[in-house]
């Protein structure tokens, strides 16, 4: 009787923090901000998957949303956080011309908080899945943090900082940003970053934070990864050329190119993506 | 026939009809315009109300939109970002708000305020206040614009109980209205706001300050113009139709009618005759042509009728003014001519002679040779006189054998010559050819005057009458009126004699009156007593008091009786007296002794089955001619006449005579009735005599009843009948005014009593006198 009573009290106390199904989770983030994520508790014997959205997007981005649903359907625990990007409880994708005060470092910190939160939710292995720039940020987190419960990193359309821009442009912007910082200027500037063509409005240090992960650093991180890294690329992703695929392949990471798939694995290719990821999850050691 | 003043001419009627129609049309048109105006006003009010509602909807829409805009802003991540980290707010506001299209164009200003209500950016040219106000919404007038200032608090996403800051926007309300609302009823360029100081919190107050005009009804104005134009067209068309209709009516109806009326007037005036071939142009309408034909035929027939009527009228006039027996002018023509003559001759200083001709012994001729011969004598006399008079002198038959002529501008010698020529012409005429053995002559009375005053002229006929009377009395052929013949009294006397003679000779002036005699206890008269009255030439009634002295003087009793027989017979034939009643006729002693009495009464025999005819005789006359009278009465009694003994008690009243006479009725004399009141003895005697008479089988009539007491007395006495003024006065017919009004009843009855004729011994003399006069 006393054992049952104790269990009931414990369940009552823990209940608020134990999501029973898909729910919105709010989590305190650095800078007195609140992060928001969707969390679905899956089957207890299956792995937990954290899926991170791409550049300036949210967890409601289609690629993320569809993948999360597919995994939930297979019984996996799924957490899809939205990075605050300096906005408390951010709900929408942040436009390029909004003022960006977030940095890659703060993003990594927020990723770590969600990973830690997830380790508190389950004892099952945790697989990190990132899309596009989210893959880069997870790779950057992996380079900085080590959580034993995290067993695998799956990158989808893995990108690097200046993949959209000619190297000369990136070099010039980086130089100008550094010069501005050296001058003590912290006012927003317009940069070309990822798909933000000369309209990424941010102080120089913000820009420089994201530009800190160029191609070679990504390649290096892949090579140095402490856990298995699965790289899934779209065969029709026009953001990258063959050079990037070769470079990736050369890292030793497991590269899966889905023919015909775009950067976002839309139309019928999302099922190939989902099948590929499910296959990896089933083979998770 | 109604006067023309109360009738309308066709043209007048048409004008009234058209005028009424035009008035009605004008009233209807005005009413239509009024209704259109009213509908316009109502539509204008409706449009204004619709515009007002549209304005209110737009205002509501602006409020809703403003609210939604603020809610979106409050939920916007970047607002949250700026409120939390406003370091780059100025840059953000400039680039993300002002330089972008994120806000609607009617948002004139946006500002973020911190939790204390202070703006994140201090600016000078703001529409928004420097401190977030208490009111979430208010309005202000700025730069000619109505600005809605709206605030929305932004909650902390980490702890919604905390206010992170505020969003304020300034919205140009009118621009927002135009952008958000499609106006169908409100004229957008008329939208304006009345300036007001400070700020207004009440939206209704703001709405009241908004000015607008409804969109003019695009269709109403052209519709009204179209209606007015159509109305004008219709008016013109109606006017043209009225004019055309009037001309048509004038041409086809009015003018033919006028011509028809003029034609009829012409016919009536004699300007046109029905024989004219084309009285007027044939009317264009068939019915008028038919009417014209009908009227023409009718006028033809009417003319023929007029001609016949004229002929008949002329004949009638001739008959009316001419004597049918002689063919000369009659008394009516004389009266007309005489009145005309008196009126035109007055004061003309022309002598006027009035000649009165009378046939001597004409009555004797008539009685001896019969009426037919007498008429032929009259006709011959008229013819001879007319031929003997001067050319142009009119001869009038005044009645019976009396003729007259009036000669103008003639002296006494000439008159005398004319008179003697006439007298001679008559005297030489061979009357033997007519079977008359005695000579026939005329007497001529002449009245001549050279003084033509009205009074003088009017006295001429009487003077000629008096001259005639003197001529006959003096047995002269011609006699001029001389003043010594007597004045008015003589003329009057002459007039009465002539009246009586006329009654005897012609009887046309006898006016018999009837006094009722009642049987005891009956209300309807048993029979009537016939009483003689004569109407003189002056239309005055002559009573027995005047009649019988002349009759007695001239011994005309029997003649008067016979004249009365004829008069009574005429009355019975005309139904003057009710059938199954009776009539009582007084017989004079002369008639009673007349051996031809039965023949004289022959005319009354057909009335015996229907009328009880009583012949009243006096005991005096009976006694005078006892044998002849008895014989006559017995014969008459056998024929069905009743015999009444009149004035019983006034003479000898011998009961022996009474017993031997063929008498059915005894009439107590009035003196007997009066004696009832004298003494008891008288009364007893009279009562016993009455009882004796009744027991002998006679009816007893008490006359002279003047009161009810006397009536009761005579009935108690035994009278079977009563007569008197108390029961009924003599009168011409039932229902006519009774005579004697204004005259004492005793006087009237006394006068009746005086009708009693003289003994028969005087009859011969009277007849001779009459005959020889």
In 3D space, the residue among A192, A196, A98, A91 whose CA is nearest the CA of residue B93 turns out to be A98
pLDDT digits (tens, 9 = 90+) for B23-67: 888 888 888 888 888 888 888 888 889 889 999 999 999 999 999
Alpha-carbon Rg for chain A in angstroms: 19
Residue A201 forms contact with B (CB below 8 Å)? yes
Nearest to A87 among B80, B87, B88 (CB): B80
d(CA B510, CA B503): 6
Looking at chain B, the whole-number percentage of residues with pLDDT higher than 70 is 89
Instruction: Report helix, strand or coil for B761.
Output: helix
For every residue of B344-385, DSSP letters joined together read HHTTS---EEEEEEEETTHHHHHHHH-HHHHHHHHHHHHHHH
CB contact set of B381 (below 8 Å; sequence gap of 6+): B326, B357, B359, B401, B403, B426, B440, B442
Neighbours of A244 (CB within 10 A): 19
Nearest to B77 among A26, A91, A188 (CB): A91
Size of interface A-B (CB pairs under 8 A): 50
Q: What is the pLDDT of residue B759?
A: 34
Q: Mean pLDDT lowest for which of B151-160, B171-180, B658-667?
A: B658-667
The ranges assigned to domains in chain A are: 22-160+213-282
Nearest to B80 among A88, A97, A101 (CB): A88
What residue of A is the nearest CA neighbor of B89?
Answer: A99
pLDDT digits (tens, 9 = 90+) for B558-610: 888 999 999 999 999 988 899 889 999 999 888 888 878 888 899 899 999 99
pLDDT digits (tens, 9 = 90+) for A145-164: 999 999 999 999 999 987 77
pLDDT digits (tens, 9 = 90+) for B509-525: 899 999 999 999 888 99
* Test the B interface: residue of A26, A87, A101, A200 with most B CBs within 10 Å: A87
Strand A196-202 versus strand A150-156 pairing type: unpaired
Q: How far apart are the first and last CA of chain B?
A: 59
Residue B80 forms contact with A (CB below 8 Å)? yes
The 3-class SS string of chain A reads CHHHHHHHHHHHHHHHHCCCCCEEEEEEECCCEEEEEEEECCCCCCCEEEEECCCCCCCCCHHHHHHHHHHHHCCCEEEEEECCCCCCCCCCCCCCCCCCCCCHHHHHHHHHHHHHHHHHHCCCCEEEEEECHHHHHHHHHHHHCCCCCEEEEEEECCCCCCCCCCHHHHHHHHHHHHHHHHCCCCCCEEEEECCEEEEEEECHHHHHHHCCCCHHHHHHHHHCCCCCEEEEEECCCCCCCHHHHHHHHHCCCEEEEECCCCCCCCCCHHHHHHHHHHHHHHCCC
pLDDT at B291 over 90: no
Domains of chain B as residue ranges with CATH:
11-217 (3.30.450.20), 222-316 (no CATH), 322-486 (3.30.70.270), 505-772 (3.20.20.450)
* Test the B interface: residue of A99, A188, A198, A201 with most B CBs within 10 Å: A99
| B96/A98 touch (CB, cutoff 8 Å), yes or no | yes
pLDDT at A5 over 80: no
Query: Mean pLDDT over residues A258-285, rounded?
Result: 91
Residue A34 forms contact with B (CB below 8 Å)? yes
Query: Mean pLDDT over residues B604-619, rounded?
Result: 90
d(CA B443, CA A50): 182
Would you state the structure tokens that stand for residue B346, as one six-digit string? 């007055």
Q: Mean pLDDT lowest for which of A26-40, B192-206, B601-615, B624-638?
A: B624-638
pLDDT digits (tens, 9 = 90+) for B380-404: 999 999 999 988 899 999 888 889 9
pLDDT at B735 over 50: no
Distance of CA B698 to the CA centre of its chain: 59
pLDDT at A85 over 90: yes
Residue B156 forms contact with A (CB below 8 Å)? yes
| Residue A53, burial from CB neighbour count under 10 angstroms (0-12, 13-18, 19+) | buried
pLDDT digits (tens, 9 = 90+) for A197-235: 889 999 999 999 999 999 999 999 999 999 999 999 999
| A201/B95 touch (CB, cutoff 8 Å), yes or no | yes
| Chain A partners within 8 Å of B158 (Cβ) | 26, 32-34, 88-89
Query: Mean pLDDT over residues B491-499, rounded?
Result: 72
A22-160+213-282 maps to CATH 3.40.50.1820: yes
Q: Are B672 and B649 in contact (CB under 8 A)?
A: yes
């Amino acid at each position: 009787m006393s054992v049952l009573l104790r269990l009931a009290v414990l369940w009552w106390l823990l209940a608020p923090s134990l999501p029973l199904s898909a729910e919105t989770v709010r989590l305190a983030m650095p800078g007195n901000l609140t992060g928001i994520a969707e969390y679905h508790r899956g089957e207890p014997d299956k792995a937990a998957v954290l899926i991170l959205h791409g550049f300036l997007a949210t967890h409601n981005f289609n690629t993320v949303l569809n993948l999360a649903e597919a995994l939930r359907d297979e019984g996996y625990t799924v957490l899809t956080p939205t990075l605050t990007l300096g906005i408390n409880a951010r709900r929408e994708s942040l436009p390029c011309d909004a003022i960006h005060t977030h940095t890659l470092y703060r993003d990594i910190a927020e990723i770590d908080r969600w990973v830690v939160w997830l380790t508190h939710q389950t004892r099952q292995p945790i697989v990190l899945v990132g899309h596009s720039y989210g893959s880069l940020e997870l790779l950057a987190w992996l380079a900085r943090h080590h959580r034993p419960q995290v067993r695998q990193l799956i990158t989808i359309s893995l990108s690097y900082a200046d993949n959209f821009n000619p190297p000369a442009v990136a070099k010039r912007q980086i130089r100008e940003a550094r010069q501005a910082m050296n001058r003590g200027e912290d006012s927003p500037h317009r940069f070309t970053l990822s798909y933000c063509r000369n309209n990424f409005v941010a102080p120089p240090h913000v820009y420089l934070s994201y530009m800190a992960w160029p191609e070679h650093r990504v390649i290096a991180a892949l090579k140095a990864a402490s856990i298995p890294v699965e790289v899934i690329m779209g065969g029709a992703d026009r953001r990258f050329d063959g050079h990037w695929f070769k470079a990736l392949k050369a890292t030793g990471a497991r590269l899966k190119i889905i023919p015909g798939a775009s950067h976002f694995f839309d139309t019928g290719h999302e099922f190939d993506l989902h099948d590929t990821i499910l296959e990896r999850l089933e083979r998770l050691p | 026939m109604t006067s023309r003043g109360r009738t309308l001419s066709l043209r007048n009627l048409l004008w009234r009809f058209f005028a009424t129609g035009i008035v009605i049309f004008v009233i209807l048109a005005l009413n239509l315009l009024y209704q259109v105006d009213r509908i316009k006003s109502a539509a204008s009010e409706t449009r204004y109300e619709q515009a007002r509602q549209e304005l209110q909807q737009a205002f509501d829409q602006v409020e809703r939109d403003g609210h939604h805009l603020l809610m979106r802003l409050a939920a916007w991540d970047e607002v949250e970002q700026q409120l939390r980290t406003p370091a780059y707010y100025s840059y953000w506001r400039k680039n993300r708000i002002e330089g972008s299209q994120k806000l609607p164009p009617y948002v004139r200003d946006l500002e973020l305020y911190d939790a204390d209500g202070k703006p994140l950016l201090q600016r000078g040219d703001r529409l928004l206040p420097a401190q977030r106000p208490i009111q979430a919404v208010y309005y202000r007038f700025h730069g000619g614009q109505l600005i809605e200032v709206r605030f929305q608090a932004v909650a902390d996403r980490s702890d919604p109980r905390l206010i992170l800051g505020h969003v304020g926007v300034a919205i140009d309300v009118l621009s927002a209205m135009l952008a958000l609302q499609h106006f169908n009823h409100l004229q957008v360029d008329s939208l304006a706001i009345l300036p007001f100081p400070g700020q207004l919190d009440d939206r209704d107050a703001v709405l009241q300050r908004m000015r607008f005009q409804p969109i003019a009804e695009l269709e109403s104005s052209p519709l009204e113009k179209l209606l007015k134009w159509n109305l004008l067209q219709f008016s013109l068309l109606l006017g043209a139709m009225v004019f055309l209709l009037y001309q048509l009516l004038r041409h086809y109806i009015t003018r033919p009618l006028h011509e028809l009326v003029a034609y009829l007037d012409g016919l009536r005036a004699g300007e046109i005759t029905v024989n004219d071939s084309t009285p007027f142009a044939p009317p264009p309408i068939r019915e008028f042509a038919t009417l014209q034909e009908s009227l023409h035929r009718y006028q033809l027939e009417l003319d023929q009728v007029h001609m016949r009527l004229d002929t008949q009228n002329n004949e009638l006039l001739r008959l009316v003014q001419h004597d049918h027996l002689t063919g000369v002018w009659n008394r009516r023509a004389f009266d007309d001519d005489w009145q005309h003559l008196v009126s035109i001759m007055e004061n003309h200083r022309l002598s006027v002679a009035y000649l009165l001709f009378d046939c001597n012994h004409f009555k004797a001729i008539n009685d001896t040779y019969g009426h037919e011969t007498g008429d032929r004598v009259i006709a011959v006399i008229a013819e001879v006189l007319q031929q003997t008079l001067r050319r142009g002198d009119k001869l009038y038959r005044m009645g019976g054998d009396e003729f007259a002529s009036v000669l103008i501008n003639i002296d006494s010698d000439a008159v005398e010559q004319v008179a003697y020529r006439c007298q001679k012409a008559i005297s030489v005429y061979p009357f033997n050819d007519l079977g008359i053995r005695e000579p026939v002559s005329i007497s001529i009375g002449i009245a001549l005057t050279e003084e033509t005053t009205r009074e003088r002229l009017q006295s001429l006929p009487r003077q000629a009458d008096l001259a005639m009377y003197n001529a006959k009395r003096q047995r002269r052929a011609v006699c001029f009126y001389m003043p010594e013949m007597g004045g008015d009294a003589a003329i009057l006397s002459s007039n009465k004699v002539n009246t009586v003679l006329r009654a005897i000779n012609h009887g046309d002036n006898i006016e018999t009156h009837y006094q009722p005699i009642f049987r005891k206890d009956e209300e309807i008269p048993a029979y009537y007593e016939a009483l003689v009255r004569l109407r003189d030439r002056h239309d005055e009634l002559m009573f027995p008091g005047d009649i019988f002295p002349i009759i007695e003087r001239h011994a005309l009793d029997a003649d008067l009786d016979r004249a009365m027989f004829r008069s009574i017979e005429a009355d019975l034939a005309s139904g003057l007296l009710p059938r199954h009643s009776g009539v009582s006729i007084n017989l004079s002693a002369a008639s009673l002794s007349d051996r031809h009495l039965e023949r004289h009464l022959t005319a009354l025999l057909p009335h015996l089955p229907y009328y009880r005819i009583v012949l009243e005789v006096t005991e005096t006359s009976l006694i005078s001619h006892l044998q002849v009278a008895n014989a006559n009465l017995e014969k008459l009694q056998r024929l069905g006449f009743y015999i009444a003994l009149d004035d019983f008690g006034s003479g000898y009243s011998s009961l022996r005579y009474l017993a031997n006479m063929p008498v059915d009725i005894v009439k107590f004399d009035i003196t007997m009735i009066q004696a009832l009141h004298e003494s008891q003895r008288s009364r007893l005697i009279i009562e016993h005599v009455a009882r004796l008479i009744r027991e002998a089988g006679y009816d007893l009539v008490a006359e002279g009843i003047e009161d009810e007491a006397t009536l009761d007395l005579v009935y108690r006495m035994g009278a079977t009948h009563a007569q008197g003024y108390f029961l009924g006065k003599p009168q011409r017919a039932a229902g006519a005014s009774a005579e004697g009004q204004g005259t004492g009843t005793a006087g009237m009855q006394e006068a009746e009593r005086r009708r009693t004729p003289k003994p028969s011994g005087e009859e011969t003399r009277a007849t001779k006198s009459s005959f020889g006069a």
